[in-house]
Structure formats: structure tokens, C-alpha cells
Amino acid sequence: MDPNILATVRDFAASEAPLVVLSGAGISAESGIPTFRGPEGYWTVGSRHYRPEEMATLGMFRSNPEEVWRWYLRRLAVCRGAEPNAAHRAVVDMERLFGDRFLLITQNVDGLHLRAGNTPGRTYQIHGNINFVRCAGPCSNDIYPLPASVELKEKDEPLSDADRAALRCRACGAWARPHVLWFDESYDEELYRFNSSIEAPAGAGMLLIVGTSGATNLPMQIGSIAAGQGALLVDVNPDRNPFSAMAERANGFFLAGAAGTVLPSLLEAMRRDG
């Protein structure tokens, strides 16, 4: 890696300034989970009957909860079958290195960052987490793990009667829904840490952006705020994207490559003293 980049990252690590990591689906690509907009992406492949953007909506869930659950249980089977990769492990080591100077904001619902070892208190899951459910009523915003009795679906197959009984709100008996942010819903603080995520880049010394195409507005806002207040922006992605351009405009860096290769090198630079 360019010695100038390594020196800049080392200077950041030697400062007291916070590190914010902003991740997208690309960080999980090397774990075998399709990205959203790649060739095999969820939004590209979708489900048999519906366009993908229709599936991930409250409107579709209200009219056809079983179809939406079948799709999510197939996605969850993929996520549960995947293992965190070297990039996830490097992000965990960054948290261990920086402690309270560290914050992770992830768009991913696959849960791999937490499984790798990042702590919930320093991990904002701004699109939710597919391993958790809440009441679709909603009678409350309580979030709890998907009941272990629910069968994950390796292919498009109907829910069993046991699945239907388990996918119910524990308090009121209405359908339970995946704890994820749908296209026809809005961010908020309580469920998705919106305000906290907008505040996070203020004062950050470095914003490390990994594996995201810049297709969603909150991450782009986070990047703009960080760039506007002089943070070092580093974008890691095999392809150029709006974040790489944003980083280079702000005298930061675009590191073209796979997260699983680039992040361990960045971590090594952060580890060296001074």
C-alpha cells in the first residue's frame, strides 16, 4: 500500500480522534453473501414472483406476510451459513485497538459484524438485523431473536404450521416481522439509530467506508458530514463509487480492492506506534 497512505493512517492512529467505520454489503461478499446490486444481488435476483424492491416493503408484508417471510427465511439461511471473513475480523481488531474511540455504522442486516465480535454498544445497525423480529402490529417496538424453532428455508418453500405459530408477536399474537428497515419505511433513532449516526462523524478523525455503493442517503450524509469537518476519508471497494469520489475530493483515499485484503493492511498501519 502507498507509503503516504500508511503514514497518514498511522498519524491518525497516533491522534486521539475517533474512528468511524461505515460498512455495506461488500464487506460480507467474501463470506459468500450476495450484495444487493451486484450480478447475483438480492435486488437483482429478487424472488420468483415479485420485483425485489417490492419484497422489502411494509406494503408487501401487510398484503402477503408469508411470501415476505419465505424470502427472508431464505436470506437468513444464507446469512447463517456464512462465516465472518478477514475484513470483519479486522474491524473487530480495530474496535479492540481503539475502544471508545471506535464506532461501527453498518447497513448490513446479516449480523456478521456482531458474530465476528464487534460489541452492540459500538455497532449501529441502521437497517436492522435479519436475526431479530418485532411485532408487525406494532403493539411495541420490542426486538427479540427470531424463535429458534422457525425453520430456515434453503429454497422457496411454504411456511410450516409450526413456523406460522412461531412467527407471532409474543405479546399480542399479531404477525412478527423481520427487524429490518423496508423501502417504504423511514429511519428513526429508537430502532435504527438515525440521529446517533448523523452525529457520529462530528469530531471523527477518520471515516473508513467499506463495501458500499453509495445508493442510500443516510450513509452519503455521514460521508458528507465527515468530509465537511475535515476527517480523513478512506473508501475500500473494488470499484469506484460515489464514496471514492467523495474521499478523493476531501484529500482522502480510494483503496481499490477487496475488503478482506485491504482492511488487514490498514489495521497493521493503525497498530504501529507513531
| Contact positions vs ligand APR (CB under 6 A) | 24-26, 29-30, 35-38, 41, 43, 107, 127, 211-213, 215-216, 236-239, 241, 258-259
Residue whose CB is less far from ligand APR, 40 or 273: 40
Buried b (16+ CB within 10 A) or exposed e, 14-53: eeebbbbbbbbbbbbbbbebbbbebeebbbeebbeebebe
C-alpha cell at 186: 423511514
Respond yes or no: is residue 113 known to be catalytic. Answer: no
Residue whose CB is less far from ligand APR, 169 or 263: 263
Q: Quote the least distance from Cβ 272 to ligand APR, whole Å.
A: 24
Residue whose CB is less far from ligand APR, 105 or 236: 236
Among the listed residues 88, 113, 127, 179, the single catalytic one is: 127
Q: Quote the least distance from Cβ 168 to ligand APR, whole Å.
A: 26
Q: How far apart are CA 77 and CA 97, in angstroms?
A: 32
Instruction: Check if the beta carbon of residue 93 is closer than 8 Å to that of residue 63.
Output: no
Q: Quote the least distance from Cβ 176 to ligand APR, whole Å.
A: 20
Q: Quote the least distance from Cβ 37 to ligand APR, whole Å.
A: 4
Cβ-closest position to ligand APR: 26
**Closest C-alpha to 31, from 71, 79, 77:** 79
Kindly list the catalytic residues.
127
